[in-house]
Amino acid sequence: METLDELAERAARLILKARGETVAFTGAGVSAESGVPTFRGRDGLWKRFRPEELATPEAFERNPRLVWEWYRWRMEIIARARPNPAHLALAELEKLGLLRCVITQNVDGLHREAGQQCLVELHGNIWRARCTKCGHRVVFREPPREIPPRCPRCGALLRPDVVWFGEPLPEQEWRQALQLAREARVLLVIGTSGVVYPAALIPTIAKENGAKIIEINIEKTPITSIADIHIEAPAGKAIQKILEKIKQITRTPI
């Protein structure tokens, strides 16, 4: 059985060989190390609810206040969070010219805060809202005080600008993600369960187009079976180790 050191070195060599055509695909496991509960967790006040019962258009139509109270609770947690070593290492790989882009299922904005320039947010962003009537978008700098918030233009209800269960992915972001997956020579799959579709198709699409798959997760997932390298470790620890190996191989100062 290979050690983390050995796996990280193999991953580092694949990334270097890809010459900048590496793409990262991230899920909730990346932000968990920043203290952001995974979407499927049941924490505190919300242990009585399943996220799948709150993150739907039907739930919002039925009780917009309850849905917004849940999102405000999540925003309050995210507001206290900071990018962790995984976010920072990915941003550094981009600066080194080794990472083309990050495709994320996360809505917390921590990749951007870490300095990531090329970022595709497949499921939207929790800090944005859009009007249910006129489509106007609002960016929050802190959790909204008024619940549910209303559109500053027309007064209609705002809804979180995120993708809910039963809704399609934003067309532009999905097209961009598909193009990146098809063109990647290496796909880093980090902290995703691999069960939320259609986003979970990204690794398979990359693999079918010849990419090497490096999976980083604390446990095995449906993606593990197609991974060329599977690193069973927390995201921050694994990616920092890969970055360290890259710098050792290229003799770049750490």
- Residues marked active site are found at 123
Q: Are 129 and 147 in contact (CB under 8 A)?
A: no
Beta strands 124-131; 158-162: pairing state:
antiparallel
87 class by beta-carbon count within 10 Å (0-12 exposed, 13-18 middle, 19+ buried): buried
- The count of other CB atoms within 10 Å of the CB of residue 50 is 11
Q: How far apart are CA 98 and CA 220, in angstroms?
A: 26
Nearest to 141 by CA among 166, 114, 113: 113
Which of helix, strand or coil describes residue 39?
Answer: coil
- The count of other CB atoms within 10 Å of the CB of residue 154 is 12
Q: How far apart are CA 132 and CA 144, in angstroms?
A: 17
- The count of other CB atoms within 10 Å of the CB of residue 225 is 11
Q: Which token pair is 25?
A: 């695909």
Residue written as tokens 């970022």?
119
